[in-house]
Structure 1
Amino acid sequence: MALRLVVSVLLGAGCGAATTAAHTYPAQLETLANPIRQHRLVHAELTVTGDPHAIAGSAFGSTWLVPATMTSFESVAGGPTVRAHAAVIGFGNDPTWRSVLPGQRLAVTARLTPPQRADGTVAVLSITESPRRIGRPPWYQLVAARLRGGLQAACRGLPAAPGGLLPGLVDGDTSRLDPIVHADFTAAGMTHLTAVSGSNLAVVLGFVLLAARWARAGPRVAALVGAATTVGFVVLVRPDPSVLRAALMGGLGLLALALHRPRAAVPGLAASVLLLLLADPALALRLGFVLSALATLGLLLFAPAWRDALRRRHVPRGIAEVVAVSTAAHVACAPVIAGFSGTVGLLAMPANVLAEPAVAPATVLGLAAAVVSPISPTAAHALAWLAAWPCRWLVLVAHTTAGAPAAVAPWPVGVLGAVLLAAILVAAIALAGHRTARRLLLVLVICVIVGAAPVRWVAGGWPPDRWVFVACDVGQGDGLVLRVAPGQAVVIDSGPEPTAIDGCLRRLGIRSVPLLVFTHDDADHVSGVAGVFDGRRVGAIGVSRFRGTGGGRARIERVAGAHGLRPFPVPAGWHYRAGMLAVTALGPPEPMTGTESDTNNNCVVLRAVVGSVSILLTGDAGPELQQELRVDGAPLHADVLKVPHHGSKHQDPGFVAAVAPEVAVVSVGVDNDYGHPNPGLLSRISAAGIRVLRTDRDGDVAVVDTGHGLAVARRGPPPGRQPPADRALPPAMARRAGRSSRRRRCPRTGPSAAGASVAGRTGGVAGGCDAPITPLGSAVSIRAGRRRARMGP
């Protein structure tokens, strides 16, 4: 037995090494490696292998990412045609990419560059011209495109949330999915529903085989019908890794059905995973493939026993099936998800149990709508309308779960976090088999819930409820966060190093960044870019039109390229909207040269509106840019001002008055060498009745929309860090800082925006404490009466 195990492991390792070497061999050939290293401009022929998708938007159009296989190329400067079969990623700006289908052959002119990730891609192609089509795509891709388009057309008359969700459930098309719905699904641990995988294929195959049984078809006929359905399903949703795994597993299962071997499920899973990895070793690096295989393994190993255990306790069969399936899949995937994201979804299991009954009817009805759409658009719309009702339930479950306190808890990231959670789950499963241990475990869970939930509901913790803007404590630099939806935010600048901005985003529970904007290329604004990407999906990156000279832009482009993104310039007048957030670029109107600092005076100035709160984000705008915006009549007025250039003394005298904010936030590092912030500037701002907060003294700073006015919350600096010297503060502020520095802890209670006490707490994420929410104004919030008053401490 031991010898068989050793031989099996050695055989698997040998096969893996051989296939990996075979896939990476083309990249080592000098005929291909030299042109890539030299960034050569070439004429190339490609075969598109996946749907092109937009990765950035700007006034200059969208950038499209195109997965493809390069079959040949020749240098534009002349030379022989080189034959190749290499996986590449192309980037192009031409709008015709929108209509390109998988399987289409193309001729393009592009510049070859080395890949940034070890994912099997041989080269990155920067496509400079419109693609020229060679022939037509395969007929089955044309049919699939028509069905996908028909489903989208059938959903157009539906409400935005269910209408955008339905195509995601059926074929994985999330192009119209509302950002808030996406954020809710992420927070609730339900994103797998829109990433088409084995569960979707299982629903479709189950329906087809049930219909075949109802028609009294034999095992071989049912297997043939199931095989045809599997092939059609893969073509419709595109052959993504999890879909391929599910299709191959389903094919082996159907073969077992035809051969009267129904118990070959686990060997079938092992065989399908092995065959796919032999065909494409890069699949082992894709999270979706790993989670899909683990979820299926959990269903096969755990679900039957747990279902039978529930049935023995007189749980109805249908409920027992749903609970067992959802729990088994979640337990199998939880360690990998925790290690990858640094979070544990505490409510993901009950959310998926509640969602499970709606998935099958939504998927089957949506697929039926897609199939009949070429024949009868009216019937397709009717079926989509019916499918929208279970989709509404899914949206409601996700929204309710995402809004619950402690829906997501922080967890150690990386291999350690994954192994730790796996050990805890294994121990819990083992103990669950003993009655006494099971009772003790149940009592412990109840005690934790009963003891922690009221504290979480009353105290709030960090981040405060209804926050709209946070200035992160990233040291001497800017790292600003604008809320879009739960778990989703736009980030402006990333600070001087990755750890600080990553920690701030983790404390806020941000897992998705649809837009990352760098106001300019200085290191204290861009060097932390890798921290924004750590465990998060970034949708697009905007940069200043003025390229700095310090290497910051190269750093941005390097990290962006490693994640398949290309930065786009942000011009004056550019608009962006997502969820509750709207952003407008105010300047600079035209490039400025010959100023004291051209880099600072060409930084992107943004005005953001989150709900009813307006925020002016000024980067390091110098006095020349400030004056030009003020004189040109730009809409500068805002409730919150991010003070330009970390509170430098170089300011346009009339700028703050033109903005007329209620809150001024200074993003600045402790004991910096630049004398930031300037005491005279802070004195003038405070004298105008404007509340001033500083990240060096207050830590992370949040602005809260209470519904009745603005409030602010300060998380406090980490333990052991001294506040700036009192000499750098105006006298009144210095006295308050002196009182604060003598406290050993943050105040335990304080007035909340609603008038109730809000408990602060230490701990949570290591360092700092959660200061209470402080309303603006004395008796009445300033926003409520629109009057100016002296701010409280």
Structure 2
Amino acid sequence: MTGFSVSAAIRDGGSTEKGLRPHALHLVLPALASWATALILLGLPSPVGATVAAIAAVGALSAMAVVPSDGIAGWRNAVIGMLGCVAAVAGTVALQVHAISTGPVAEMAARGASATAEVVVTDDPRELPQHGGPYRQESFVVPARIEAIGAGSGRTTTRVPVVMLTSGDEWRSLLPSQRIAVQGRFGPADAGELVAAVMLVRGPPRVLGEPSWVQRTAATLRSGLREAAGVLPPLQRGLLPGLVVGDVSHLDRQVKADFKAAGLSHLTAVSGANLAIVAGAAVALARTAGLPLAARAVLAAFAMLAFAIVARPSPSVLRALLMGTVAAVALGTGRSRDGVAALSATVLGLILFDPALARSYGFALSVCATGGILVIAPRWRDRLERRMPRWAAEAIAVPAAAQAAVTPVLVLMSGQLAPVAIPANLLAGPAVAPATLLGSVAALVAPLHMGFAQVLVRPAGLATGWIIAVAERAAGLPLAVIPWPGGVIGLVILAVTAPIILLALRHRWLRRAVLAAAAGVVVAATVAVPIVARWPPRGWLLVACDVGQGDALLVAAGPGRAVVVDTGPDPVLMDRCLRSMGVSEVPLVVLTHPHFDHVGGLDGVFRDRRVGAVVVTPHRVAERESARLSNDLARRGVVEWGALPGASWRFGPSELTVVAPSAEAPPAGGGEGAVVNNASVVLYVRWAAGTALLSGDIETEAQAELLRRGLPPVDILKIPHHGSGGHDPGFFAAAGARAALISVGAGNDYGHPAPSTLARLNMLGVRVYRTDLSGDLAVVAREGGLAIIARGPAGR
């Protein structure tokens, strides 16, 4: 959102039941036309932009000369202004596209050449999702500006934006405005991006200069806030800096996922909403002190500027600061603010300054949310006010209007609807302001007196704890996120269905029918479905969690307890599966081998749970990954055991016995990966109702060794290595299983499960259950043995 105070925007904004003021519309049209112009021209060559600029300029001059100055309702000036803005934006885009598509950097990108470059970091390094997990090197995207290429006599100066793809923890500490030297290969950037090239950097950066004093100050204040927040519980500790200054470096991944599902992600991105809270507090203090209107405006502007420094003056923060300054100037002049006009002017100015914003989803969400609050919220508030107090009507109207306005953008982005976002924002909203204000003051105080800063963050921690609880409950509700076609098709469907629903709601009997149908769907999802398709199933013994391309198994260990065998690649999905099964204690974790798709989700097991010992393969395969895993477990204070053949544990209804690997070195295979797979811990699990074999990722060689040593027959077989084609012909037959579980990701790049594996299982009469097709799979006891219940893909 922008820097407008929400309640003031509704009271004084440009939308009423009588409609928008004419001068507001005269600014809306140039803003929308400029946005559309930049959106289209960014993907076209610079001559096209220059041509559009010339045509629009000629059109504006012609309108000035031909159309009488007393045009109807002043629309002549509006048309001239719109054409003039289109000409300015088109010319700006043409110049910037020409700058990035010519010159030495563009030429080297076209050839894929390598070079040494001097660059200035322009924004915070952004860490990429770790497809290699916590046991591989961190990767970052670093926005930068190249200022020189080469060295010595071959040094060429330039000034163009690039994006660097890097790896290594050394990049995490870099600050915007810092000058560094790097070595790497250039490649072409994506079409439509105002970036001259993508640079694949090799090695760590060589620092050439210190960041600016503003950035150093911001780094000190942000570091102080993180240190002060250290007195809070882990989840609150990671969220508070995100709420206050957008620092999500320590934000728990599950909290981040819950925020996304609950429609609360905007709270961790610094925007005008943060500035509005800070400026509102400053104005309230100034009013209490009896300061005049102009002094209040100056104090509000100063407070926003100070907050922008704390939050680090990145492009997004500066955009929010500009929007907030518009409101402060209007306040200082004493004139009634027209919110739509101010928003339009700000959009126009930002597009002219940075045309790349036209393709930014974040910018679109911010503008749409603010527009919804200014235009839709007053109407909805006035109607709700007939049935409830004004404050309640306003509290409901604001998040509902904002969510309605951003829905088309969300459909384009991710192809989903999030009806739970409205109540989630309504419940979380009251806690945002105290957390932001207390956290901001704590950041300013921390360098001076850490003890006092820690006192301030404790009540802020209570506020963040409430927001975390709201997000967790909202994300877990049925129909929290409704799948919807994405892209243009989804937008068209939304454009057709939304007016029909709105028309139906305008008629009393249709409104009642729609509301009754909606209530029926909600009741069915929240009451009927859990009764019919109970999850977790009563008396479950084993669960194969749907964690994508990886393995994560739960073995029943008593009420609220489970043994975890592998953790999949994603901590969020691992924690979600454990939560869905009501597991609060994990007495034993078995990590069959140190490949990421089996250990990457380990953090999800430790989230708010008591964890006992961890069992790993006794063979030191994949030395680096094994060492990092051992260091991680030592840091957590968890005992690490090597699996020994014959070792056995009894937990609740389950008895687990290690049957592999043997004490000898694992059998060689087709490479290092096969050696690691063949070192997998294999478990034989016995219940009163039947047995199962959990086979990790063992391949042909380890399967043959198990056959030679004698393979116990079982009822359920967890197919090794996600159903790959590497299997011994006699292995499946010797297991004698009636059912097989395959943990595999939908649409994976490996071709798992292999057709040959499925064909052999089918020939043996083994019934196959797959997580990519059926979601979570639960083994339960039934009369006469074991049965398998599928939760369905929607369970993820």
Q: In structure 2, do the counterparts of structure 1 residues 429 and 27 end up closer, same or farther at CA, with 3 Å as the change threshold?
A: same
Query: Aligned AA for 1:692?
Result: A
The answer on whether the counterparts of 2:187 and 2:198 sit within 8 Å (CA) in structure 1 is: yes
The match for 2:138 among 62, 66, 81 is 62
Alpha-carbon distance, 1:634 to partner: 5.6
| Cα deviation code 1:323-342 (max 9, x no counterpart) | 11111111111221133212
Q: Paired residue for 1:729, among 745, 759, 763? A: 763
Relative distance call for 1:325 and 1:482 in structure 2 (3 A) is farther
Alignment-mate amino acid for residue 392 of structure 1 = G
Deviations 1:325-363 (A, max 9, x none): 111111111221133212212322111111111111111
Aligned-pair distance for 1:169?
Answer: 0.5
1:113 is the counterpart of 2:192: no
Q: Distance in 2 between matches of 1:383 and 1:617?
A: 54
The corresponding residue for 1:684 is 734
- Equivalent of 2:704 in 652, 660, 685: 652
Deviations 1:514-536 (A, max 9, x none): 99xxxxxxxxxxxxxxxxxxxxx
Contact 2:412 2:490 in 1 (8 A): yes
Give me the whole-angstrom Cα distance separating, in 1, the residues matched to 2:76 and 2:356.
Answer: 29
TM-aligned CA deviation for residue 470 of structure 1: 4.9
Query: Aligned pair 1:360/2:364, yes or no?
Result: no
Aligned to 2:793: none
Q: Is the 8 A contact 1:188 1:347 kept in 2?
A: yes
Say which of 760, 775, 781 aligns to 2:779.
Answer: 775
Q: Offset of 1:312 from its aligned partner?
A: 2.5
2:472 is matched with 399
SS at match of 2:452: helix
Q: Deviation of residue 446 (structure 1)?
A: 2.3
**Aligned to 2:444, which of 371, 393, 403?**
371
Report whether the alignment pairs 1:162 with 2:214: no
d(CA) in 1 for partners of 2:728, 2:384: 67
Over the matched positions of the two proteins, sequence identity in percent amounts to: 33
Question: Which of 595, 599, 602 matches 1:577?
Answer: 602
**Match of residue 183 from structure 1:** 257
| Alpha carbons 1:617, 1:642 under 8 Å: kept | no
| Alignment deviations for residues 64-87 of structure 1 (CA, whole Å, 9 cap, x no partner) | 43221112222x6x6533222211
> Which deviations, in whole Å up to 9, do the C-alpha atoms of 1:21-55 show, x marking residues without a partner?
22222232242222223333333222211122443
Contact 1:343 1:411 in 2 (8 A): yes
- Residues 675, 401 of structure 1: CA spacing in aligned structure 2 closer, same or farther, 3 A cutoff? closer
2:122 partner amino acid: T
Query: 2:59 maps to which residue?
Result: none
* 2:63 corresponds to 1:29: no
Matches of residues 510-589 of structure 1 in structure 2 within 5 Å?
577-580=602-605, 589=621
Corresponding residue of 1:754: none
Structure 1 residues 588 and 201: alpha-carbon distance in aligned structure 2, compared to 1, 3 A threshold: same
Q: Is the 8 A contact 1:637 1:659 kept in 2?
A: no
- 1:749 maps to which residue? none
> Secondary structure in 2 aligned to 1:86?
strand
Q: Write out per-residue CA displacement over residues 102-128 of structure 1, whole angstroms, 9 at most, x where no aligned residue.
A: 122223333333334642222223333
Specify whether residues 355 and 573 from structure 1 end up closer, same or farther in structure 2 by C-alpha distance, changes over 3 A only.
closer
2: distance between equivalents of 1:152 and 1:257?
34
Conservation of the 8 A alpha-carbon contact between 1:470 and 1:700:
no
**Greater Rg by CA:** 2
Q: Please state whether the residue corresponding to 2:531 is helix, strand or coil.
A: helix
- Given residue 450 of structure 2, which amino acid in structure 1 is its aligned partner? P
Question: What is residue 299 of structure 2 aligned with on the other side?
Answer: 225
Structure 2 matches for 1:592-603, cutoff 5 A?
none
Which residue in 2 is equivalent to 1:103? 177
Q: Which runs of 5+ in 1 are unaligned?
A: 473-477, 485-489, 494-509, 516-568, 592-606, 702-716, 741-766, 781-788
Greater alpha carbon shift after TM alignment, 674-683 vs 84-93: 674-683
* CA separation of 1:414 and 1:667: change in aligned 2, threshold 3 A: farther
- 413-422 vs 636-645, which moves further: 636-645
Of 138, 159, 163, the match for 2:212: 138
Equivalent pair of 1:370/1:380 in contact (CA under 8 Å): yes
1:763 matched residue in structure 2: none
How far apart, CA to CA, are the structure 2 residues paired with 1:436 and 1:157?
Answer: 56
Q: What is the alpha-carbon distance in structure 1 between the residues aligned to residue 598 and residue 759 of structure 2?
A: 41
Q: Sort the Cα spacing of 1:632 and 1:291 in 2 relative to 1 into closer, same or farther, 3 A.
A: closer
**Contact 2:257–2:572, Cα closer than 8 Å, also in 1:** yes
Structure 2 gap segments, 5+ residues each: 1-71, 555-565, 576-593, 608-613, 624-642, 644-650, 662-666, 686-691, 748-752, 790-796
Assess, with a 3 A threshold, how the Cα gap between structure 1 residues 225 and 96 changes in structure 2: closer, same or farther. Answer: same
In structure 2, do the counterparts of structure 1 residues 64 and 628 end up closer, same or farther at CA, with 3 Å as the change threshold? closer
Shift of 1:206: 1.2
- Against the structure 1 CA distance between its residues 164 and 658, is the aligned structure 2 distance closer, same or farther, given a 3 Å change threshold? farther
Q: Secondary structure at the match of 1:131?
A: strand
Provide the rounded CA distance (Å) in 2 between the counterparts of 1:268 and 1:133. Answer: 42
Quick check: 2:351–2:358 contact (8 Å CA) kept in 1?
Answer: yes
For residues 272 and 96 of structure 1, what CA distance do their matches in structure 2 show?
37
Give the match for residue 34 of structure 2.
none
Contact 2:545–2:776 (8 Å) recurs in 1 = no
1:161 is displaced (CA, Å) by 1.4
Contact 1:401/1:407 (CA < 8 Å) preserved in 2? Answer: yes
Task: Using the TM superposition, name which of 249-258 and 86-95 deviates more.
Answer: 86-95
CA contact (8 A) 2:550 2:743 kept: no
Deviations 1:700-744 (A, max 9, x none): 89xxxxxxxxxxxxxxx9xxx9x977994225x4xx79xx9xxxx
SS at match of 1:579: helix
Q: Shift of the alpha carbon at 1:187?
A: 1.6
- From 419, 424, 436, the equivalent of 1:346 is 419
CA gap of 1:248–1:27, structure 2 versus 1, over 3 A, is same
Pick from 149, 153, 156 the counterpart of residue 73 of structure 1: 149
Measured after TM superposition, the shift of residue 214 of structure 1 is: 1.5
Gap change, CA 1:771 and 1:177, over 3 Å in 2: closer
Q: Is the 8 A contact 1:42 1:110 kept in 2?
A: yes
* Alpha-carbon offset, residue 396 of structure 1: 1.1
The Cα shift of 1:173 comes to 0.8
> CA 1:460 to 1:231, structure 2 compared with 1: closer, same or farther past 3 Å?
farther
Tell me the TM-score normalized by structure 1.
Answer: 0.67
Secondary structure of the 1:103 match is: coil
- What is the aligned length? 628
Q: Partners in 2 of 1:325 and 1:272 — Cα distance?
A: 21
**Corresponding position: 1:39 with 2:112:** yes
Deviation, 1:204, is: 1.4
- SS at the partner of 1:775? strand
Structure of higher RCO (CA pairs closer than 8 Å, 6+ residues apart): 2
Q: Distance in 2 between matches of 1:89 and 1:218?
A: 47
* Kept after mapping to 1: 8 A contact 2:479/2:525: no
Residue 732 of structure 2 aligns with an amino acid whose one-letter code is L
Instruction: Describe how 1:457-468 pairs up with structure 2 within 5 A.
Output: 457-460=530-533
What per-residue deviation string (whole Å, max 9, x for no partner) do you get for residues 432-481 of structure 1?
Answer: 45545444433332233234433332234999999964569xxxxx9447
Q: 2:309 aligns with which of 228, 235, 238?
A: 235
Residue of structure 2 equivalent to 1:596: none
CA drift at 1:576 = 6.2
Match of 1:285 in 2: 359
Q: CA deviation at 1:149?
A: 0.8
Distance 1:383 1:161 in 2: 17
